Chains A and B, each alone.
Chain A
Amino acid sequence: MIELPDLAAGGLALGTLSALALGGGLLRSRRRLAVQRAEIARLRGQLDGVLQMFTSEVEHLAAQRVPAAARQLTHPNVLVPGPLQPRTSSSPLGIGLESVLRSLRAELVAQRTRIDAAAQAGMRGATREIQAALYRLQDALRKLQQEYDEPELTQTLFQLDHENEQSLRRAQVAAVVCGAWVGLAREESHLVDAVTGGQARLSGYHRVRVNNHLEAGTALVSHAVEPVAIIVAELLDNALRHSAPDTDVVVNLEQVHHGVCVTIDDAGVGMTQDERARAQGLVAGSEPVLLTDLGDPPRMGFAAIGQLTRQFDLGVDVSSPSAYGGVRAVLRVESHLLSHVDPVEQPPAASAPRSTRKPARDGTAVSVASHGFGAEGDDGASTAVSGHQSPRDAGELPQRRRRVRATGEEAGAPKKQPVRRPADSAAALGALQSGTAAARAGDDTDQTDVEGGAAR
């Protein structure tokens, strides 16, 4: 029989044991809890840190990196700062942020192009109208120049014509920059005419000296005439603008292996390396032009050249400095844009400089090449001397041509200017008279001598 006190003692012992066991378990679990708490606290702290870093990265993106990326599109020298923590760039967060910048750039470029295209279309329409109006004005002015020759009026007309040419140049260049056609169809023309025409469009055209070393008759195919004139005008404008007003700008037209080169040298301040690189990029026309890239006020000259070189397969180089200290610009016209115009049938403009290729500067030789009389006289010497027109221009209106040279050749006087000063005439008549008198006197030798003198 178990006694009650034993029972009680046993129960107590059991209770103590279980209490001990429970207490141990409790203690252990409490320790584990503490560890877990510490872990949670640490994790929370880490999470807070990450969140803060994330926030600051995004803030940095919004405040610094996005504006810089936007500005970099217009100013390539701007550096886009990286993330705050260099480690972020390789993390998924960094990659995500980078893709934000990338799509932002793409969208901005697309928007800029779209807006610029709209602006260009607007300007194209406006300048085309202006250009057409200025051509009409030019027609009117030239008609007036032909009709009236009073000096005072002509002076005004010349000034107006020149002003009009300059306005026309500006309107045309703006239109070309905006992707328009040059606006005028010309026929095949002498290259020197295109260059001289370009020269006439500038306010400082007095300072331009053109040396023409081309063969007579070197011409441009019709669609290249106006582009070459525009390019030459813009290159000359740049040269005149950046050189002192008392210096000359020298233009040389030279034959090269693949065509013709127009070299423009100025004695101005020249361009820095950066400017030269930028100008070369613009005139090469390799990239499409944005109006917003041209500055304010927009500098359109080089951009227009770039458009034209791309469209018409012309080559322009402004990368080398000139021997005169300024800029040397070279326009290269390839052979496929060149043609030949008969300088006799269709002489170059009177103001266009002569080719230096002709043998000499004696009047008759030049006249043979530049006007029809002499050369036709050569033909006419074998065919019938009609005095009007040769069969080859039968389709045109009859034109009065003089035959002086032909008769001169028949008479066997190869090179004699049929010019008579009054004194010469008197001498000739006097000689004739004395010759006649001598002949009447019957002296033969005297006669020939005097006649020889008279013919001179």
Chain B
Amino acid sequence: MTGRRGGRPLVPAYLSTGGVARPSRSHLERLSVLTAAGPPAPAELPAAGLALLDVLAGGSLTVVEAAALLRLPVSAVRVLAADLIDRGLLLSRAPIPAADRFDPDLLKRVADGLRALKH
């Protein structure tokens, strides 16, 4: 009616985790990388857990990316992910550290070396 996308959500976030906000494991951070572990999802999994596995079906995502895709708060996705990790359906990896700036001098020398190889 109002024509805007994504108005007030009908389904509140607490329903995704059944009201639980404390993840069973605490090492998950916003930028932890989640990867589906492979075994097919059992049917009795809560709907939100299945949804999380679905968004990870194509590859790995960070917690915060999965939260954005599922339109859930990060805290809820952490609970879901921790549960799935406990079930052995999900793997997590510590956040990828921010890359150091490459030394421009080193890059230049590599480029020179490559050019020298070409000739």
Contacts and interface: CB of A to CB of B under 8 A. Distances in A.
B6 to A, nearest CB: 9
Contacts, number: 156
Interface stretch (B53-61, B101-109, B110-118): B53-61
Interface in B79-111: 91
A413 interface: no
A314 to B, nearest CB: 17
A417 B36 contact: yes
Contacts of B7: 185-187
A60 B47 CA distance: 68
A260 B3 CA distance: 25
A200 B11 CA distance: 7
A200 B14 contact: yes
A155 B59 contact: no
A187 B2 CA distance: 7
Contacts of A315: none
B38 A205 contact: no
A440 interface: no
B85 to A, nearest CB: 14
A154 interface: yes
Interface in B9-27: 9-23, 26
Contact of B36 (A142, A165, A352, A419): A419
Interface in A348-374: 349-354, 361-364, 366-367, 370-371, 373-374
A149 B78 contact: yes
B15 A199 contact: yes
Of A350, A362, A364, A370, the most chain B CB neighbours within 10 A belong to A350
B15 A351 contact: yes
Nearest to A223: B1
Contacts of B53: 363
Contacts of A361: 40-41, 43
Interface stretch (A108-116, A188-196, A299-307, A383-391): A188-196
A145 B20 CA distance: 13
Interface in A162-192: 162, 165, 184-187, 189
Contact of B58 (A352, A396, A404): A404
Give the interface SS of chain A, mostly helix, strand, loop or mixed.
Answer: helix
A436 interface: no
B47 A149 contact: no
A421 B22 contact: no
A402 interface: yes
Contact of B75 (A145, A205, A396): A145
Contact of B74 (A149, A193, A363, A366): A149
A157 B62 CA distance: 23
Of B10, B47, B73, the most chain A CB neighbours within 10 A belong to B10
A158 B21 contact: yes
Of A155, A157, A185, A417, the most chain B CB neighbours within 10 A belong to A417
B50 to A, nearest CB: 6
A420 B46 CA distance: 25
Contacts of A248: none
A186 B57 contact: no
B21 to A, nearest CB: 4
A371 B55 contact: yes
Contacts of A138: 8
A256 to B, nearest CB: 23
Contacts of A336: none
A146 interface: yes
B8 A184 contact: yes
A149 B52 contact: no
B31 interface: no
B10 A225 contact: yes
A197 B58 contact: no
B38 A162 contact: no
A18 interface: no
A206 B71 contact: no
Given A149-B30, A186-B10, A367-B57, A200 B1 contact: no
B47 A350 contact: yes
B58 A200 contact: no
A139 B38 CA distance: 38
B1 A351 contact: no
B12 A402 contact: no
Contacts of A405: 58
Nearest to B74: A149
A229 interface: yes
Interface in A383-413: 396, 402, 404-405
13 contacts: A139-B8, A146-B73, A151-B22, A154-B76, A158-B17, A161-B13, A165-B12, A186-B10, A189-B10, A197-B12, A206-B18, A349-B71, A351-B15
Given A350-B71, A361-B41, A421-B91, 7 more contacts: A150-B75, A155-B21, A196-B15, A350-B72, A351-B51, A404-B59, A418-B59
Q: Which 8 A-B pairs have the closest CB atoms?
A: A197-B10, A154-B21, A349-B11, A155-B21, A158-B14, A149-B75, A154-B75, A350-B51
